[in-house]
Structure 1
Amino acid sequence: MANVFVYGTLCHLPLLETVLGRAVAAVPARLPDHAVFWAQSQPFPLIVAAPGQTAQGLFVPDLGAEDMARLDYYEGGFAYHTREVTLDNGHSARVYFPDPGHWLPGAPWSLADWVAARGAVVTETARDVMALYGNTPAAEALRRYGMMLGRGASRLRAARSEPPTLRRAATSADVDIVAHRQPYANYFAVEEFDLRYRRFDGTWSDQTTRAAFVSGDAATVLPYDPVRDRVLLVEQFRPGLYARGEANPWLLEAVAGRIDPFETPETCARREAQEEAGVVLRDLIEVAQYYPSPGAKTEYLYSYVGLCDLPDATPRSGGLAEEVEDIRAHVLPFDRLMDLIRRREAGNGPLILTAMWLHANRATLRSAG
């Protein structure tokens, strides 16, 4: 049996119990001459030697070999390994320290701030991390952790969906998962399920295999200047068009981007408008929330119209160099956008949907200035 001193995120009991796969008895404890900081540019903390300071944490006694293996997997994925220390209560315990030089300390750590801003997403994501335990090396889980956080945040948003008024009022008991596989995992992932589901007559379907392309939630926004009656489109290379065999794989779109794990869809829309086209949005008006291709993709979209100024000055090219983006912005009259849609040159679902919404509401927006 082993005693462990946990600090930082694992002091959040829902996360600790997700990692261990069971409830635990833990009591407050302190480690003298140490302090806890945020790891620079990371959503988790680290502990360092700090003479005269005291690190707050939890003492978790009598963990078995399986408990330690699960903790080693979760913490080892982040390049943390244990050392034996003595706590202020006199107990000896193992503590997970970062590998030398792997992470650098940033601002002082605050558990309350982390729980409020990130705790739910990180705890949800830990379910995915620990699902890989015993099958995938911890280093591989760390490599994909950023995308896994995005998926965890997406799942939390999905759980907040409105109750049905016409659809079946389904529960988790209406789908029976026989087996689950992840044959591909990189920035995106493909997951396969051997499953059966409850039919509308109450009987069970035959067992079948279904696959889903896991890509996380995204936001789209069409910048619109109601005074000048102009919209802004972006143009960029899209691998989906190329893989389908399009002769011209450059696509006209609304501004769009993946929602970062710890931001709202609205914040994402405003951020992407600045990154892709240098546009600062005023009012952000929701158009729709929807699944664009639910037969095969987990992607869920939040689409907006963003009111802004679009003067004659040519907007800058945009995109992030670290994401190998090369984006060109086009400012054009609204009627030109509708012509492009009719000619199928703007063949992009979120853009078409948003343009149709704007067509129906444009007079109201223009009269309001």
Structure 2
Amino acid sequence: MNNRVKELSTEILSDNWSILKKAIYQYQQNDGRWQTHVREAYDRGNGVAMLLYNKEQGTVILTRQFRLPTYVNGNEDGMLIEVCAGKLDSNNPEECAKREVEEETGFKITHIQKVMEAYTSPGSVTEMLYLFVAEYNAGMKVHAGGGVAHEQEEIEVLEVTLEQAMEMIVTGEIKDAKTIMLLQYAKLNQLMG
């Protein structure tokens, strides 16, 4: 418990797709003074993301799908290139990551490595992402991927070299933070050998 925070009130503003709360609280400054703050926090739950890489081929698996918030913020067609990701709807991030990868890409992965945890936008969103990497090969492909219909997913599966993916960051084709973090992790840790 943080002794520098005194919660005064919390109000639910929306409980539709996720929960949007308005909080009024007091925060003690370094000089001892208390200030009252009014903030909103969007709670969509935590999530997982995984980069699949093929060491022999030097390739990675990415996805492309429509993302409304990017469209609203000026992304002309709303399409975003990302690593596989999903909402953590169980207590086991590893199992959730494996399931999301199979649904989205069609690859059935057994061995994964957790590489980091990160808050996505801590100024307004409560979400913590659990980030993983895993090796893949053609023999692990069990179906075409593309997401699940009941979640209204229509996902294109992309296989590109790590070098192409890194160039896509430079050109702005990849703008998703979790994807950039995992691609940079792969490059910095020389996952391609």
Q: TM-score range by the shorter chain?
A: over 0.9
Residue 187 of structure 2 aligns with an amino acid whose one-letter code is H
Q: 2:149 maps to what in 1? A: 321
For 2:85 and 2:55, how far apart are their aligned partners in 1?
Answer: 21
1:260 maps onto 2:89 in alignment: yes
Aligned partner of 2:61: which letter? L
| 1:248 matched to 2:95 | no
Is contact 2:64–2:157 with CA below 8 Å preserved after alignment?
yes
Q: Is the 8 A contact 1:252 1:348 kept in 2?
A: yes
For the 8 Å contact 2:48–2:129, the answer to whether it is kept is yes
Letter in 2 for 1:220: A
SS at match of 2:181: helix
Match of 1:269 in 2: 97
Please point out which of 220, 225, 231 is paired with 2:49: 220
Residue of structure 2 aligned with 1:283, choices 100, 104, 111: 111
| Cα distance in structure 2, aligned partners of 1:202 and 1:310 | 60
Report SS of the residue matched to 1:336. helix
**1:235 maps to 2:52:** no
Q: In structure 2, what is the Cα distance between the partners aligned to 1:319 and 1:213?
A: 25
SS in 2 for 1:267: helix
| Structure 2 partner of 1:25 | none
Structure-1 separation of matches of 2:2 and 2:16: 28
| Whole-Å separation in 2 of the counterparts to 1:310 and 1:232 | 11
Q: Residue 273 of structure 1 contacts residue 279 of structure 1 at CA under 8 Å; is this kept in 2?
A: yes
Q: Distance in 1 between matches of 2:163 and 2:192?
A: 14
Q: 1:310, CA displacement in angstroms?
A: 4.2
Matches of 1:213 and 1:254 in 2, distance apart?
A: 23
Kindly indicate whether the alpha-carbon contact (under 8 Å) linking 2:103 and 2:145 is maintained by their aligned counterparts in 1: no
Q: Which ranges of structure 1 fall in alignment gaps of 5 or more residues?
A: 1-170
TM-score scaled by length of structure 2:
0.92
Please give the secondary structure, in 1, of the residue aligned with 2:63: strand
Task: Provide closer, same or farther for how the CA distance between residues 202 and 231 of structure 1 changes in structure 2, counting only shifts above 3 A.
Answer: same
More strand by share: 2
Q: Where do 1:2-21 residues align within 5 Å?
A: none
The alignment-based identity, stated in percent, is 28
Q: Residue 303 of structure 1 contacts residue 354 of structure 1 at CA under 8 Å; is this kept in 2?
A: yes
CA–CA distance in 1 between the matches of 2:144 and 2:31? Answer: 57
Does the 8 A contact of 2:105 with 2:146 survive in 1? Answer: yes
Q: Equivalent residue for 2:12?
A: 182
Provide the alpha-carbon RMSD of the alignment.
1.7
Which string of whole-angstrom CA distances, capped at 9 and with x for unpartnered residues, describes residues 74-101 of structure 1?
xxxxxxxxxxxxxxxxxxxxxxxxxxxx
Instruction: Show structure 2 runs of 5+ residues with no match.
Output: none
Contact 2:186–2:192 (CA<8 Å) still a contact in 1?
no
Shift of 1:366: 4.3
Amino acid at match of 1:343: T
- Contact 1:292 1:299 survives alignment (8 Å): yes
1:173 Cα offset (Å):
3.1
Q: Across the two proteins, how many residue pairs are aligned to each other?
A: 191
TM-score of the aligned structures, taking structure 1 as reference length: 0.50
Larger radius of gyration: 1
